[in-house]
Amino acid sequence: MKRSPMPLPNEMGKKHDAALVAATYHDSLYQWALALSRRNKQEALGIVQQTYLEVIEGRANLLAAKDPRAFLFGVARKIASSRFRRRSILGRILGLAQPLQADIPGDNPEEAAATGEEVRKVRAALAELPARQLQVVTLVFMEGLTLEEAAISMGVSIGSARTHYHRGKKRLATLLKEVHNA
Amino acid sequence: MPKGELETLLKKVRHAEPIPGFEDTWRQAETLQSPKRNTSLLPRRVLIPVAAAAILALLLVVGIQVALQSNGNDQILTVQNGIGDPSQSLARLTDMEPWTGKLDGLGTEWTFGFTTGENTENDAVDTSVMVASTSLPGDDMYESQTDFLLDLEIPTSIRAEERNRL
């Protein structure tokens, strides 16, 4: 029997349901992807798209997840690691290593005008944080996750997440103070 | 800086962040779907069994080859056993008269001969097995035996068998 190129109604229904769930957490997922990509917007968008692709192609069963947000965050984290690893390997082999640069409004005058000075400074400070600290600060302060939830999303122990959280908070405060005084 | 102030600042950053729309992102993700999946000549549910069958067939062919080869060795052994009782001692084998047998796979009838030699573990086996061709006119079986011995490498197998028997 020849297989129909169109998805079966059941598959379409599942995809539709998965899209509805994903849409609920889209903003949070993008913020998390920004943290994973060290606030590089293009990379963040790539991570989000690839996360959705995993859901669409059925490799990540979002509908079966108990906590869809944590599930999506976990998928995104693995994708980010994989992309980072691939970039590192290619960079090493081909000599094309290009570390991700954070997108901070300022170079673009229009965007800088649209964004408040204060916000710009905080973004610049965030970009200075080490990866883990940036991730836990994003999850806790921006997304309102508890430290336990943040630890699960980051794939680290609660103790480790707590350490990164305290260090991140302290470092961010120092950076903001420096920026403010300057 | 108090935690509350930091939180307020970061919330402000979050709300100021332009976020790409869900619809567009989802649609773009759909366009990233692998085309192989839909346009593949063989769907995965067919491809996997076919690949598995191909691997099994390959293993079977290799297995048959190995079996045939080992059968060939067995035939050598069988011919050798035809000389006498396999349980005979080496001394008895070396005393036997030359005999004729056919080895399958070689396409030629070969004559095997066993000389009477010293019955020592090292020398007797190496010197007692000889091969000569009856199809070469004028060849003396015992004169040409060394050349054939070297060319055919059959005695190597026989020697190995003999050693095992020892």
Label residue A161 by pLDDT band (50, 70, 90): very high
Tokens of A151: 């630890």
Using DSSP bridges, classify how beta strands B129-133 and B109-114 pair: parallel, antiparallel or unpaired: antiparallel
Contact B33 A56 (CB under 8 A): yes
The torsion angles phi and psi of A180, rounded to 5 degrees, stand at -65, -45
What distances in angstroms separate CA B80 from CA A123, B101, B126, one per listed residue? 88, 9, 15
Kindly list the residues from chain A whose CB atom is less than 8 angstroms away from the CB atom of residue B34.
57
Residue B72 and residue B105 in contact, taking contact as beta carbons nearer than 8 Å: yes
CB within 8 Å of A99: residues ≥ 6 apart: none
Task: Report the C-alpha gap between A148 and B45 in whole angstroms.
Answer: 41
CB within 8 Å of A144: residues ≥ 6 apart: none
Contact A122 B9 (CB under 8 A): yes
Q: Between A113 and A1, whose confidence is greater?
A: A113
Angle at CA of residue A60, ends B51 and A78, nearest 5°: 100
The arithmetic mean of pLDDT across residues A169-174, rounded, is 90
The arithmetic mean of pLDDT across residues B75-102, rounded, is 35
Label residue B75 by pLDDT band (50, 70, 90): very low
How close B56 comes to chain A (CA, Å)? 26
Q: Is the pLDDT of residue A73 over 60?
A: yes
Kindly list the residues from chain B whose CB atom is less than 8 angstroms away from the CB atom of residue A3.
43
Q: Is the pLDDT of residue A104 over 80?
A: no
Partner B, chain A 49-68, Cβ-Cβ below 8 Å: 49-53, 56-57
ipTM of this complex > 0.85?
no
What distances in angstroms separate CA B150 from CA A7, B93, B117, B147, B160, one per listed residue? 69, 21, 19, 5, 15
Residue B117 and residue B124 in contact, taking contact as beta carbons nearer than 8 Å: yes
Contact A49 B33 (CB under 8 A): no
Cα torsion A137, A138, A140, A142: sign:
positive
Q: Which of A42, A66, A39, A62 has its CA nearest to residue A52?
A: A62
Query: Between B13, B16, B25, which is nearest A45 by CB?
Result: B25
The torsion angles phi and psi of B132, rounded to 5 degrees, stand at -145, 155
> Minimal Cα distance from A138: which residue of B?
B10
Cα A72 to chain centroid, rounded: 10
How close B48 comes to chain A (CA, Å)? 16
Contact B10 A122 (CB under 8 A): yes
Is B36 part of the contact surface with chain A (CB cutoff 8 Å)? no
Contact B6 A30 (CB under 8 A): no
Question: pTM of the full predicted structure?
Answer: 0.56
Q: Between B148 and B24, whose confidence is greater?
A: B24
Contact B29 A172 (CB under 8 A): no
Contact A31 B14 (CB under 8 A): yes
Task: Report the C-alpha gap between B31 and A75 in whole angstroms.
Answer: 19
